[in-house]
Every structure is written in structure tokens, then in C-alpha cells.
Structure 1
Amino acid sequence: MSTEAPTKSPAPGNRLVLDESAINAAKSGLDKGAVTPHDAPWREDIIKLLNDALATELVCVLRYKRHHFTAAGRSSPKIAEEFMVHANEEAGHADRLATRISQLGGEPDFSPDSLSKRSHAEYDESLDLTAMIRANLVAERVAIETYSQMIDLIGEKDSTTRRLLEDILSDEQEHADELKDWLKE
């Protein structure tokens, strides 16, 4: 005797079928590269979100590098070295975001004049090691929140961008945990 529930057929019109007109549209517009009709409704909004995230990552690179070069104190050599590791990882995030912006047919905005205005995180000039760690932890927490919101907003609208943001979010969470632990030392 089978314990499986009987399977219902979907109601007419609720079947999983591909949009043939969108598939046919994807055969043209070759100059758009990876951008297909599926991306079109949200493309500009996603590019804006990604450019703001790019600004945030670049400000974080600058903040971590400043802290790397100005950290002083008993624990500073080890932590300063980690600040540079974080700076390099943030730079990698920026590169990945810029690549995705380009794939979507946008232009990555590296303008120094607008970086701090578009960034979700702040630059910090602290000279005290504990203040540096706190400033970086605040920035990582801001990044975690903004990436989480971006992932929710994008949802299924752009699965490639969503996966990219989820990957970066994972790194940011690791950074925050590490910084939290340094505050205990």
C-alpha cells in the first residue's frame, strides 16, 4: 500500500512552461552579451545597488589599509596584518561587483568624488587599535545588513547577482566574527 499522497495535475494555465517569446528575443541583441529580456525590468535598479555596494567595498579597502599602516600597540602587528588581508578581500569583492555591473551592461562607478557619498560604510581615521577594530566591525555589520537587504530585494529577479551577493555576504560575516573576537583579546 502506497503512503504517498496522490499527485494533482496543475490547473490549466499554471503549468511550468518557458516563455518562447523571451527565448526568441534572446536570439537577437547580441551586442548586449549576457543581458537578456529576463534581466531588463530590473537591470538599472540592480546596477545602482551594485554600484553603491562597489563604493562601500572601496571605502572599506581604504579604511582597512589606513588601519593597517597606522595600527600601533602590543597586539598591532598581528591585527595590522589581518587588516591588510581584509583590505585585499574587500578589493576582490569590489572587482567581482564591477565585473557583474559590466556584465549587466552598466558602468562600474569608481569616481573618487562620489565614493564616500554612495558608500553605506564610513571611512575611519582612528589611531587607537580598539577604535579601529570597532570601526571595522561597524562597517562589516553595515555590509551584512545591506547585502542581506539586497539579496531579499533581488530575490529571483537576477539569480547570478543574488549568488554573488550571497558569496560576498558570507565573507563579510566571517570578517565580523573575527573582529568581534579581537575585541575580546
Structure 2
Amino acid sequence: MNKPHKSDATSSHPAAAGQYTPLKLDEDALRKAATANLDDGAVTPGYGPWREDIIKLLNDALATELVCVLRYKRHYFTAQGMESPAIADELLVHANEEAAHADLIAERIVQLGGSPDFRPSSLQERSHADYDESSDLRDMLHANLVAERIAVESYRQMVELIGDKDPTTRRMLEGILADEEEHADEISDWLQR
């Protein structure tokens, strides 16, 4: 068995070609960021100038989730027809999942040093999705599908806008986006029955 020459093993390594820069943290910058503005909790200067913009995006998403909870709850309690019990049960599941999204978003707003905006008087104007008072089951499903598609697009845009400016918020939004896509698929399936 022939062993490779040491020069053979290292010649393909980026360091051998002068292309290698070690991944190393800037210890001075770490200390500086960690000790500046301690009252800001987890928010370090690395969040840059976008923190307030992200909080605004999140407060609008919070309003959307809360309006969706209200719409789903209304539809859960008022759905009628032969298929309504099974669909109503799923609408309640969606309402609870939207409420969980709202909780995640509110918690993240606080982590970023903001204040979650739960004011009932402005929910509808800040929400991307509409409330709906349909009485027909098919109309309810249609309104919920439109709202879910709005949520999908708004979360997709937020993920794109935030990018690497706030990885924690981006990952949270990506998880919520996946749930909203699942909701839209389920509702679309019900409408095709």
C-alpha cells in the first residue's frame, strides 16, 4: 500500500495555493459589542440601523396573525353544513396555530427591545389580511385561502428583506412561513372537494 506524499495531500488544500483565510472571531469587537449598552439585553450594535424597521414589520405581522385568529374563530363557531364539523375542527386548529405565531412574534419584538402592539383599534388597518364575516362555508374557505396566500407572500417578502440583518428573526419567520403554506394547501384541498 502506497502512502500519498505529504506534498500530494497539501497541494489541493486552499492554504497551499494561498487562498486560505482562517475563520476567526474578532475578540476585540466581541468585547466591545458585549459591553456597550447593557440595558439592551440581547440586542448588540451588530443589529445595525434595521432594528426599528424589523420591529415595525413584526408588529404588522402580529396584527395580521391576530386578525387571522379572529377570522378563524368566527368561522369555527359559525360554520354550517354537512362537512362543517370536520372543517370547523381544522379551522380551530388553524386559529390556535395563528395564535402561537402571534406569541412568537410578540416575544421576538420584546427581545429586540420593542413593544408588541396589541391595540384592537388598529389591528385591521395594520393587518395584511382581512377579517371576514361570510356565512357560507365555501365563502369562508375562500376568504381563509386568500388570507393564507397573503400571509405566505408577506412572510416570504419579510424573509427576503431581513436576510442576514437578523438571522434569529429570519429563522422564526421561515418557520411561520412553512406553517402558512401548509394552511393554504389544506384549505385549497377542502375547496377542491
- Answer with 1 or 2: which has the greater Rg: 2
* Displacement after TM superposition at 1:5 (Å): 5.0
SS at match of 2:46: coil
* Displacement after TM superposition at 1:23 (Å): 3.7
The answer for the alignment partner of 2:18 in structure 1 is: 9
Measured in 2, the distance between the counterparts of 1:169 and 1:112 equals 24
2:179 aligned with 1:179:
no
Measured in 1, the distance between the counterparts of 2:182 and 2:92 equals 15
2:145 aligned with 1:137:
yes
One-letter identity of the residue aligned with 1:142: I
Are the equivalent residues in 2 in contact too, given 1:60–1:87 (CA < 8 A)?
A: yes
Are the equivalent residues in 1 in contact too, given 2:33–2:46 (CA < 8 A)?
A: no
Q: TM-score under structure 1 normalisation?
A: 0.92
The answer for the alignment partner of 1:163 in structure 2 is: 171
Q: TM-score under structure 2 normalisation?
A: 0.88
The match for 1:149 among 153, 157, 160 is 157
2:59 aligned with 1:51:
yes
* Displacement after TM superposition at 1:24 (Å): 1.2
Query: Please, which runs of 5 or more residues in structure 1 have no aligned partner?
Result: none
Coordinate RMSD, CA, aligned = 1.9
* Displacement after TM superposition at 1:40 (Å): 3.3
Measured in 1, the distance between the counterparts of 2:127 and 2:57 equals 11
The match for 2:46 among 38, 52, 55 is 38
Q: How many residues align?
A: 183
Measured in 1, the distance between the counterparts of 2:166 and 2:31 equals 16
The match for 1:103 among 111, 123, 141 is 111
Are the equivalent residues in 1 in contact too, given 2:47–2:166 (CA < 8 A)?
A: yes
The answer for the alignment partner of 1:112 in structure 2 is: 120
One-letter identity of the residue aligned with 1:152: E
Q: Name the % identity.
A: 64
Measured in 1, the distance between the counterparts of 2:149 and 2:12 equals 45
Measured in 2, the distance between the counterparts of 1:6 and 1:17 equals 18
Are the equivalent residues in 1 in contact too, given 2:159–2:170 (CA < 8 A)?
A: yes
Measured in 2, the distance between the counterparts of 1:80 and 1:33 equals 42
* Displacement after TM superposition at 1:184 (Å): 1.4
Q: Note the alpha carbon deviations across 1:71-99, whole angstroms, 9 max, x for none.
A: 00010011111111100000000000000
Query: Please, which runs of 5 or more residues in structure 2 have no aligned partner?
Result: none
